[in-house]
Amino acid sequence: MLKCHSKFMLITLLSMGPSLTGFSQARKGEPIAPIEAPTGYHKAKVELGKKLFFDPRLSKSSAISCNSCHNLMTGGSDNQVSSIGHNWQLGPINSPTVLNAKYNIAQFWDGRAKDLKEQAGGPIANPKEMGFTHELALEVVESIPGYKSSFSKVYGTKAVTIDQVTDAIAAFEETLVTPNSPFDQWLLGDDKALTALELAGYQNFKAKGCVACHNGPAVGGGSFHKMGIVKPYPTKAEGRFAVTKNPADKQVFKVPTLRNIELTYPYFHDGSVWSLEQAVDIMAEHQLGIKLSKEENNSIVAFLKTLTGDQPSFALPQLPPSTISTPTYRKEASLTPTKSKASH
């Protein structure tokens, strides 16, 4: 009887419309789409990739993991102007977040990696980042029985390949999405998910032209654009020119995602701005050629903060132990800080 009564009450509330329930139908025609929770993934492969993502033994010093620069406790980035790599070498570009990276048109600021799998192999073999080679990394992995067993179960082969290592890491990174943000709740029909200020910020975000580059589920990541379209932006970074060698691609970068943007400071490829308010003003000036009022800036910043979704939540992996035969190269790592080039 109680069950039937509850069902009747729910039907009654829904029939009375959004004024009482707070929900309307999911909004169509918006330039931004909701983030969907991960489903249908290969659980064993993802678990293996998670271990590799957190394992510093994939670096020459045994001190740097993927999570070092893409810290899942701080929005998938490291909150540094640029990351510190092997032998304390300081990179020249800001580490982009790994969260929602599956939606990117390509990986790295210059788009030189076509997907997450290709990207995963880059830092391992970069002498300025993790400082290893693929061959040496495989020697380490193959010397660890726990890894050998996991790779055999997932891939059905005895030998471990770098293709399998990067495939597993990419499978884990594919699951690092952040659904259920207040803005996504609004997109899905919850009229009470946004405040009047936040909703005004979204309208300004569209009206001022920000949405021309920052759209889709990741609110960015789907295209390349010049940094300084209207007003030149001072930077030494070559951008996509380093990949294409096309002069038109100088200072052209992948448009970053704005998901979880309040967590992933400092901003821009050079990590030069720590304030979201200042970042919004700079983008308006250099990309759109406009000056925002304080009220417009405040509303857009309020909207941007509604893009913070549920962060990945899971138990930290228990890494398989090394053996006496596991090679170590940490003796070659220096404790003296140096500056050099690295890339993300």
Task: Quote the CA–CA distance of 48 and 147 in Å, as a whole number.
Answer: 8
Task: Quote the CA–CA distance of 163 and 131 in Å, as a whole number.
Answer: 18
What is Dmax (Cα atoms) for the chain?
A: 74
Helices 134-142, 116-125: crossing angle, 10 deg rounding: 90
Spatial contact of 274 and 263, defined as CB atoms under 8 Å apart: no
Look up 262 and say whether it is catalytic: no
Q: Quick one: which H or E segment has residue 294?
A: helix 294-305
User: How many helices (H) and strands (E) in the chain?
Assistant: 13, 2
How is residue 131 written in tokens?
A: 């400082």
Letter for the amino acid at 256?
P
Task: Quote the CA–CA distance of 245 and 249 in Å, as a whole number.
Answer: 7
- Active-site residue identified among 36, 118, 129, 139: 129
Helix (H, G, I), strand (E, B) or coil at 118: helix
Residue 96 burial (CB count, 10 A): 23
Cβ neighbours of residue 72 under 8 Å, at least 6 residues apart? 98, 99, 176, 311, 312
State the catalytic residues: 129
